[in-house]
Amino acid sequence: MKPSYRVLTLLAATLATGAMAQATHHPASAGASTSAVSVPSAPTPAGAVKIAIIAFQPAVAQTNEGQRDFGEIQKKFAPQQADLKAKGDEIDSLKKQLQAAGSSLSQNDRATRLKVIDDKEKSLQRAAQDAQADFQQQMSEIYQKVAQKFYPVLQDYCVKNGYTLVLDISSQQSPVVYADRASDITPAVIQAYNIQSGVPAPVKSTTAPAGAPSAVPAAPAPSHNSLGGSN
């Protein structure tokens, strides 16, 4: 008998926090491979370089608009998560019944039950894979939509504040090994974006059921550096 497919239901129940862990191209320059964005600078002393860092992808997810839109997708998929979990629980129950019956079952009865379990496991696996793929696609589309509007706000902020170079620390391949906290402009750019978008901060629910997904999904884990936009 095949091992339990509870792993699939657990995966489905945590889609909201893990599905965004996929590669996403920065909308300002698809296919770019550098982690730094060069922006026009305000007048600075000759030879002076003003550098900042930003966690670009988490910043996009943490904007009011990002939280709102990601949260809506999570709510949309909640019924599917519940359905997948119920189907997984049913399979586990059938397996326990089969194990409890032991040798009291005839060979034919045992074979019939095994086939029912196998068919249900295959159906659950397909449903979980389809749901995860659909969820990932919709979350990626939302990220791209917000990121396309977030990037110009970042550029404008850098121009106004005289930054000549910004390094994205979202990527695990980021070359930054140390940076002073004062050089992190992530919160400031998020605030600037929230003001420009006019989207209010999402209301945090205090009565969410146990195991419910959080309002903000995990930020996308890039497969390449994402801040390679052109000026």
pLDDT digits (tens, 9 = 90+) for 152-164: 999 999 999 999 9
pLDDT in tens, 127-161: 999 999 999 999 999 999 999 999 999 999 999 99
Per-residue model confidence (pLDDT) at position 44: 54
Model-level pTM?
0.68
How would residue 204 be classed by pLDDT, with cut points 50, 70 and 90? confident
Per-residue model confidence (pLDDT) at position 53: 96
Percentage of the chain beyond pLDDT 70 is: 68
Cα–Cα distance, 154 to 158 (Å, whole number): 6
Contacts of 83 (CB under 8 A, 6+ apart): 127
Q: Is residue 36 helix, strand or coil?
A: strand
Cα atoms found within 13 Å of the Cα of residue 34, Cβ hemisphere only: 11
Q: Is residue 42 scored above 70 in pLDDT? A: no
Residue 206 located in a structural domain: no
Residue 12 located in a structural domain: yes
Number of domains present in the structure of the chain: 1
How would residue 184 be classed by pLDDT, with cut points 50, 70 and 90? very high
Cα–Cα distance, 147 to 125 (Å, whole number): 32
pLDDT in tens, 63-90: 999 999 999 999 999 999 999 999 999 9
Residue 214 located in a structural domain: no
Q: Which domain holds residue 177?
A: 6-197
Residue 231 located in a structural domain: no
Cα–Cα distance, 165 to 41 (Å, whole number): 9
Residue 208 located in a structural domain: no
Residue 43 located in a structural domain: yes
Residue 207 located in a structural domain: no
Residue 41 located in a structural domain: yes
